[in-house]
Amino acid sequence: MNATIDAQTLFNQLHERLALRWLAGQQGSQRTLEAVETLARRPSLAGYLNIIYPNKVQILGTEELNWLDSLDSRLRWETIERVMQYGPLALVISKDQPCPEDLREAAEESRTPLWSSPNRGHELLNLLQYHLARVLAPRITLHGVFMEVYSIGVLITGESGSGKSELALELVTRGHRLVADDAPEFTQIAPDVLDGTCPELLQDLLELRGLGVLNIREMFGDTAVKRNKYLRLIIHLSRPNAEMPADGDGMIRLTGDLGVRRVLDLDVPLITLPVMPGRNLAVLAEAAARTHILRAKGLDPAVAFLARHSQFLEQGLP
């Protein structure tokens, strides 16, 4: 489903930060803005008053109000009526400027939310654009445990019963932090950034078979949990089966079982770890995170070994 936000919710979220006041059109508080593909083009989510490509939130600064004052009475009323007909989510007057009475009346009649703020126009524009873009950004819920391991966001996935939660608990005891268990939500807040968060219902909780639901914050303290983290790596726990590569496959032995997983519009690096008796998955997960960090810096041990091996062969050394 597409993300949505209504005028009342937007006002509630920003009224303290922007000191918003509701001037007129409160009956339009349920007017809704939906995240659809066309929002990535014109019109923009927020911008200065524009009657050619009207923005979803129209900001009226000093220049816009002066421009309205420069119109004759008939053209002024036609312009205001046209603005209201476009159905913006809200109109915002900057710097607490006096609201023209005809604008207030038009907003009241058309049930268009009309707000005022002491902030300057560019401040309103920057914050509204950022806030709306984040709220309406593409999002997805994935099954797994989302952790912060060595400062990077790591999603642990696998079949039910593969040991995801047990691994997460072991990582927490080793000083790493839990973001979300079972159903982390990921939002694409930038072309190359996926921000992972925890649903409010599951905040601080980790469920383990045999123990039930654990409150990680109460058990290990505030430093054991984190509110959000950017997704950088996926570790998939897999039970060995006949279809898996044999243990002697040289390339996988050297490079690891690497791949990618498509999440929204991004390819996220994926490492598959076989789950077998006697393996310390917490140590392996830490090593996977450290190796990913090295690869991000351009240091790949497998590539370096293969280059060294080729050099030895060229020199005729054993």
Verify whether residue 292 is a known catalytic residue. Answer: no
Active-site option among 174, 209, 227, 253: 253
On the question of pLDDT at 68 being above 80, the answer is yes
Query: Quick one: pLDDT band at residue 311, thresholds 50, 70, 90?
Result: confident
On the question of pLDDT at 40 being above 50, the answer is no
Pick the range with the lowest mean pLDDT from 26-30, 153-157, 168-172, 309-313: 309-313
Better-predicted residue by pLDDT, 112 or 3: 112
Q: Which DSSP state fits 244? A: S
CATH entry, 139-311, from 3.40.50.300, 3.90.1300.10, 2.170.190.11, 3.30.30.10: 3.40.50.300
With beta carbons less than 8 A apart as the criterion, state whether 164 and 198 touch: no
Backbone phi and psi for residue 129, each to the nearest 5 degrees, phi listed first = -60, -45
Domain ranges of the chain: 4-135, 139-311
Verify whether residue 182 is a known catalytic residue. Answer: yes
Q: Report the run of H or E that residue 195 belongs to, with start and end.
A: strand 193-197
On the question of pLDDT at 38 being above 80, the answer is no
Rg (CA), the chain: 27
Verify whether residue 131 is a known catalytic residue. Answer: no
Verify whether residue 122 is a known catalytic residue. Answer: no
Better-predicted residue by pLDDT, 134 or 249: 134
| Tens digits of residue pLDDT in 113-155 | 999 999 999 999 999 998 998 888 888 999 999 999 999 999 9
Query: Quick one: pLDDT band at residue 297, thresholds 50, 70, 90?
Result: confident
Q: Residue 178 forms beta bridges with which residues?
A: 147, 225
pLDDT at 253: 62
Q: To the nearest whole number, what is the mean pLDDT of the chain?
A: 88
Distance CA 273, CA 281 (A): 8
**Side-chain-facing half-sphere of 304: CA atoms under 13 Å:** 6
CB atoms near residue 84 (< 10 Å):
19
CATH entry, 4-135, from 3.40.50.2000, 3.40.1390.20, 3.30.70.360, 3.20.20.100: 3.40.1390.20
Active-site option among 181, 182, 195, 204: 182
With beta carbons less than 8 A apart as the criterion, state whether 155 and 142 touch: yes
